[in-house]
Structure 1
Amino acid sequence: MLSTFIIALREGLEAALIVGILVAYLVKSDQRSHLRALWTGVALAITASLAFGAFLSYTSAELSEKGEELFAGTTSFVAVGLVTWMVFWMKRAARGLRDELHGKAEVAVTSGALSMATLAFFAVAREGLETSLFLYTNFKTVGAFSTATLGLILGLALAVGLGYGIYNRAVKINLGKFFTYSGVALIVVAAGVLSYGIHEFQEFGILPGPDAFAWDVTSWMAKESFMAALLGGTIGFDTTTSWLQLFVWVAYLGLTISAYLSPAKVKTPLNA
């Protein structure tokens, strides 16, 4: 539940802020006639994201046991790669995001309604498709569908509420700190998804050491228990964790968080 809540809140608020920036630009520049095209693009992006999530679930269900292991492992690695890229991209681009979107919106307005709908579609679809993939892999990791779904709903609801409140200036939060802290939380969740992908590839036979366990606590914590699902979905804990899973989890977490929290390099003049 906690992991899906974090994912939905972070990704949902990013999408809500992007839409809010575009809407604010159209309102302030007296281009309200393009709002319909913008919301059409947003609706199409949401539909595409839901369809992608359904496709992942359907494909996984139709595969054989071995095929499902390969599919789950591959999608886990892809999801971790995308999420890692996204948190670093947002850290780098957050300050100039408003100006960048305003520039794109200005071009779209002069090009017509289709361009505005396309801009809104790709701006939201990037977040939505990434969220669908990451949530799918996290659902596979957690296993507890009902609690994970509740976290997803609560996270999206809070993201939409915060986005609307920020747009109307009724809510004030330090977005820099929010994205930094939520970025660290996403990296932790991504480490768990990466560990799950390693496990699936070990079960499939691509990676070695599926039975070389760093620990096996199934004697006092069932793999299907709520606590195991909670720990699995948040920090990547597995009741039977292999040494390879543990090594990759520690290496990814240590290197990625260190790089993410390191201060940006300041460029000095050549004649300094």
Structure 2
Amino acid sequence: MLASAVIVFREVLEAALIVGIVLAATKGLAGSRRWVTAGILAGLLGSAVIAGSAEALSDALSGMGQELFNASILGVAVLMLGWHTVWMSSHGREMAAEMKRVGHAVVVGARPLSVLAVVVGVAVLREGAETVLFVFGISTAEEGGKMATIAGCAVGLGAGITVGTLLYRGLLAIPTRHLFSVTTWLVTLLAAGMAAQAVTYLSAAGVIEMAPQPLWDTSWLLSETSIGGRLLHTLVGYMDRPSAVQLLAYGATLLGITALARVAGRQHA
């Protein structure tokens, strides 16, 4: 539940900020709200189509063996989360600046109002499609089944819309860079935890071998099955009895995403 809530919150907040920038740039322009609303609805419709395609893909591949299927889904989710983190670190500011330019161009009459529907629709579709694919991968690792994932999505959706609205209205005095710094670290840790979980599935499928003895055992201090252990397992990938292969997958994913994001951020600074 927590993993899906974090991902949905991050994606919805990004979409809300883009919509907020466009609304602020075209404030007072007659008809602008209708076009923005049309763009949001079109983006949501496209995301729903992608959600249906993801479910169809799941049904088509479900015969490959549950462990291999779960490992494959988690692997794709890790790659996409890593790519998203790196891309946002290098293009986030450019995207926000572009939204402001589009809004200004519409206000001065250089571009038609319909452009608002296009840019907002594309933004919502992009974030919605990423949300669908991320949650699809996370649902493989989350405990509690579909209901827990749905509940997490609902929490993340509500929180993302609320925070985005408060930021737009100027009621929340939290710099967006701090918000995204926190969520970026959470997403990176989620990806590292999923990489370790994928290794576990591959071991169960007999693809790789894990040493029978764990590197350490902290189950006496904080069991992975306890409430606190589950919370940390979801948020930061905590393992009370990790193997060397799991720790290697976790560390490589964490360091890889962090290093690539920093390099990309410096190049576009």
Please report the TM-score for the alignment, with normalisation by the length of structure 1: 0.78
Per the TM alignment, residue 111 of structure 1 is displaced from its structure 2 partner at its CA by: 5.0
Mean CA deviation greater in 226-235 or 116-125: 226-235
Return the alpha-carbon distance in structure 2 between the equivalents of residues 133 and 35 of structure 1.
29
Correspondence for 1:84: 82
Does the aligned pair in 2 maintain the 1:25–1:102 contact within 8 Å?
A: yes
Correspondence for 2:31: 33
Percent identity for Structure 1 against Structure 2: 25
Query: 2:120 corresponds to which letter in structure 1?
Result: A
Q: 1:185 to 1:223 in 2, by over 3 A?
A: closer
Return the alpha-carbon distance in structure 1 between the equivalents of residues 68 and 115 of structure 2.
39
Return the alpha-carbon distance in structure 2 between the equivalents of residues 233 and 5 of structure 1.
11
Query: 1:251 corresponds to which letter in structure 2?
Result: A
Correspondence for 1:270: none
Correspondence for 2:194: 193
Which whole-Å deviations, capped at 9, do the CAs of 1:181-221 have from their partners, x for residues lacking one?
Answer: 1111110011122223333444455x42167563798x999
Please report the TM-score for the alignment, with normalisation by the length of structure 2: 0.79
Per the TM alignment, residue 52 of structure 1 is displaced from its structure 2 partner at its CA by: 2.5
Q: 1:44 to 1:213 in 2, by over 3 A?
A: farther
Per the TM alignment, residue 113 of structure 1 is displaced from its structure 2 partner at its CA by: 5.0
Per the TM alignment, residue 82 of structure 1 is displaced from its structure 2 partner at its CA by: 2.4
Query: 1:182 corresponds to which letter in structure 2?
Result: T
1:57-136 counterparts in 2 under 5 A? 57-61=55-59, 63-105=61-103, 110-136=110-136
Which whole-Å deviations, capped at 9, do the CAs of 1:32-90 have from their partners, x for residues lacking one?
Answer: 32432222221122232234334324542564452554443333233222222222333
Q: 1:12 to 1:64 in 2, by over 3 A?
A: closer
Uncovered stretches (5+) of structure 1, i.e. residues with no partner:
268-272
1:131-210 counterparts in 2 under 5 A? 131-145=131-145, 146-204=147-205, 207-209=207-209
Does the aligned pair in 1 maintain the 2:9–2:157 contact within 8 Å?
A: yes
The 3-state SS of whatever aligns with 1:161 is helix
Query: 1:35 corresponds to which letter in structure 2?
Result: R
Return the alpha-carbon distance in structure 1 between the equivalents of residues 63 and 231 of structure 2.
24
Does the aligned pair in 2 maintain the 1:75–1:133 contact within 8 Å?
A: no
Q: 1:174 to 1:63 in 2, by over 3 A?
A: same
Does the aligned pair in 2 maintain the 1:66–1:204 contact within 8 Å?
A: no
Q: 1:226 to 1:141 in 2, by over 3 A?
A: farther
Query: 2:186 corresponds to which letter in structure 1?
Result: A
Q: 1:228 to 1:121 in 2, by over 3 A?
A: same
Query: 2:177 corresponds to which letter in structure 1?
Result: G
Mean CA deviation greater in 126-135 or 228-237: 228-237
Correspondence for 2:8: 8
Query: 1:191 corresponds to which letter in structure 2?
Result: A
Does the aligned pair in 2 maintain the 1:195–1:245 contact within 8 Å?
A: yes
The 3-state SS of whatever aligns with 2:19 is helix
Q: 1:53 to 1:266 in 2, by over 3 A?
A: closer
Q: 1:18 to 1:194 in 2, by over 3 A?
A: same
Mean CA deviation greater in 255-264 or 82-91: 255-264
The 3-state SS of whatever aligns with 1:214 is coil
Correspondence for 1:214: 214
Mean CA deviation greater in 102-111 or 177-186: 102-111
- Aligned-residue Cα RMSD (Å) equals 3.5
Q: 1:113 to 1:202 in 2, by over 3 A?
A: farther
Return the alpha-carbon distance in structure 1 between the equivalents of residues 242 and 54 of structure 2.
26
Return the alpha-carbon distance in structure 1 between the equivalents of residues 78 and 46 of structure 2.
21
Does the aligned pair in 1 maintain the 2:43–2:121 contact within 8 Å?
A: yes
Mean CA deviation greater in 107-116 or 79-88: 107-116
The 3-state SS of whatever aligns with 1:27 is coil
The 3-state SS of whatever aligns with 1:173 is coil
Does the aligned pair in 2 maintain the 1:49–1:125 contact within 8 Å?
A: yes
Does the aligned pair in 2 maintain the 1:60–1:72 contact within 8 Å?
A: no
The 3-state SS of whatever aligns with 2:31 is helix
Does the aligned pair in 2 maintain the 1:2–1:151 contact within 8 Å?
A: yes
